[in-house]
Amino acid sequence: MFERDFMKPGRSVALAENAMAATSHPQATLAALDILRAGGNAVDAAIAAVALQGVVDPHMTGIGGDCFALFTPAGGRPIALNGSGRAPEASHPEFFLEQGMTGISDLSVHSVTIPGAVGAWDYLSATFGRIGLDAILQPAIKAARDGFTVAPRVARDWARYADRLRWHAPAARQFLPGGKAPVTGDRLYNPALANTLEKIAREGRKAFYEGEVAEDIVATLNELGGLHTLADFERARPEIAEPIGVDYRDYRLLECPPNGQGLAALLMARILDGFDLREGKVSPADRIHLLAEAAKSAYRQRDLHIADPDAMMVSLDDLLDETRISAIRSLISLERASPAEALDMPVHKDTVYVSVVDRDGNAISLINSIFASFGSGIYAEASGVLLQNRGSGFSLAEGHPNCIGPSKRPFHTIIPAMVFDGDKPFLSFGVMGGQYQANGHAHFISQVIDRGFDIQMASDQPRSFFTEGAISLEPTISDDIRRDLERRGHRTRIAGEPLGGCQAIMIDHKRGILWGASDHRKDGIALGY
């Protein structure tokens, strides 16, 4: 394993013997650690962290969004939780086409699907947690009631995307005090959200999907022309499934099955598994080139096929068939870029990811999102709920598996991941960043498994992403590498903002040590005890 160069800026990997939490906000990590020290388990800590982030990172996540998780109980088999919401029952494609719509705007009331996060938290807590939602949600309730200070990366994003809030007056009143975005160190409050969280703490999912909270959300949406009903909320339930996985070198990468894009990460991993990416075997430009070539194919398959699993027309086994993957690999030249194809799905970068491993060995990889920055920009003022816009991921193309339909789940970008070494979890990780996530998973595991970096070093490595016909390069990638890529036929651009945000925990079973990492591109931290 490579050692960190302490003469260069950076941070050391976190180490602990009992438990570890990694999040993208320091207060969320501290909340998780407090829960762990107080006797809660990994599930309790993860929910506490992500619920708090719904208060302090409102542009990223919240109870108006969705949730996916991979959970491996100590000594047990992993499960995948799908806490993504469905379109209203009245969402027939003809309704939208008759209005001349060719797509669903990300600031439209029709982009709001039924939020699934609270149902997912309630299920995880009741089934696998130890201390109950009443204790778990206290850090979030306190932050909403007593106020929180705005962190630096949060302030940057808030200012950048403030205009997404201005069209809905209740949202602007809450999130743009005095008509402008808060700056680093400002203190904000959300008493309405605190009240709703307190109800959820007492009553669980029922407090959100039935009664006055659901009534407030539905009334807000109906006033704007939404098709949502109370019955849509009452029907909302998470689903449990078997994770899907593929081999990468001597390990196995696990993802949640569709409607998430984990399949694209698996396709990239299988494509790259056919190339020797060990340190010294390829150049930095080779790595970026091969990652881009794998992304072109995997993301094209993603856009064609991934949808609500009930609507998919091609099986996962067929898409991951080794004969098919080998044929894709054979078309990749190390010297020449293949023709570029634009990605079809909408771009977004706003999600929070949490990883926790507790002293008993329970491991959870959990991701929560309201999709675009500040979601739909629609705010149910009485209940304090900012609503997602995940429905903008639907297609209106007739016959497409991801075409909107009654009670249908849209394509999702958010994907938690785990890597197993034999029958034991080795990595619990996620890489936030919308479309980038599948690419980020492939990049991260290669840095760890192929190059031998510790997980903090792997997270810190410069990133690239083929999207919209060109490779986007973080500015830490040299001009020489950029010219090499252009020589091979790639178009390149310098990324205007950091690509993604990684949180990870590595489990060293032999020595009984947990390694934690939190991306320098966010405000977060990994801590253990």
**What is the total residue count of the chain?**
529
pLDDT at 8: 84
Cα separation, 268 vs 258, whole angstroms? 16
Cα separation, 337 vs 422, whole angstroms? 36
Asked whether the predicted pLDDT for residue 40 surpasses 80, the reply is yes
Q: How many CA atoms lie within 13 A of 230 on its CB side?
A: 10
Q: Please state the separation of Cα 230 from the chain's center in Å.
A: 27
The better pLDDT of the pair 210, 303 is held by 210
Q: Write the single-letter amino acid at 191.
A: P
Asked whether the predicted pLDDT for residue 1 surpasses 80, the reply is no
Distances (CA, A) of 8 to 3, 11, 424: 12, 9, 34
DSSP reduced 3-state for 253: strand
Q: Is 227:91 a contact under the CB 8 Å cutoff?
A: yes
Per-residue pLDDT tens digits for 137-182: 999 999 999 999 999 999 999 999 999 999 999 999 999 999 999 9
The better pLDDT of the pair 413, 341 is held by 413
pLDDT at 10: 85
- Do the bridges between strand 239-241 and strand 187-188 make them parallel or antiparallel, or are there none, so unpaired? unpaired
Q: Please state the separation of Cα 67 from the chain's center in Å.
A: 8
* Residue 350 host element (H or E): strand 350-357
Per-residue pLDDT tens digits for 353-402: 999 999 999 999 999 999 999 999 999 999 999 999 999 999 999 899 99
Percent of the residues in the chain that have a pLDDT greater than 90, as a whole number: 92
The sheet with strand 492-494 has its strands ordered as 464-467, 470-473, 492-494
Q: Which residues pair with 70 in a beta bridge?
A: 80, 365
Cα separation, 267 vs 298, whole angstroms? 6
Asked whether the predicted pLDDT for residue 345 surpasses 90, the reply is no
Per-residue pLDDT tens digits for 72-114: 999 999 999 999 999 999 999 999 999 999 999 999 999 999 9
- b/e map 274-303, b = 16+ CB within 10 Å: ebebeeeebebbbbbbbbbbbbbbbbbbbb
For the segment 330-337, the average pLDDT, to the nearest whole number, is 94
Q: Tokens 């009992």 appear where? A: 18
Is position 351 annotated as part of the catalytic site?
Answer: yes
Q: Is 417:430 a contact under the CB 8 Å cutoff?
A: yes
Q: Is 376:170 a contact under the CB 8 Å cutoff?
A: no
Q: Point out the catalytic residue in the list 351, 413, 467, 492.
A: 351
Asked whether the predicted pLDDT for residue 349 surpasses 60, the reply is no
Per-residue pLDDT tens digits for 440-498: 999 999 999 999 999 999 999 999 999 989 999 999 999 999 999 999 999 999 999 99
For the segment 238-251, the average pLDDT, to the nearest whole number, is 98
Spatial neighbors of 60 by CB under 8 A, at least 6 apart, are: 53, 157, 350, 351, 352, 369, 370, 373
Which domains does the chain show, CATH number per domain? 27-240+350-393 (no CATH), 245-252+264-347+432-528 (3.60.20)
pLDDT band at 336 (very low <50, low <70, confident <90, very high): very high
Q: Is 88:114 a contact under the CB 8 Å cutoff?
A: yes
What is the four-CA torsion angle of 77, 83, 87, 93, rounded to 10 degrees?
Answer: -40
For the segment 52-72, the average pLDDT, to the nearest whole number, is 97
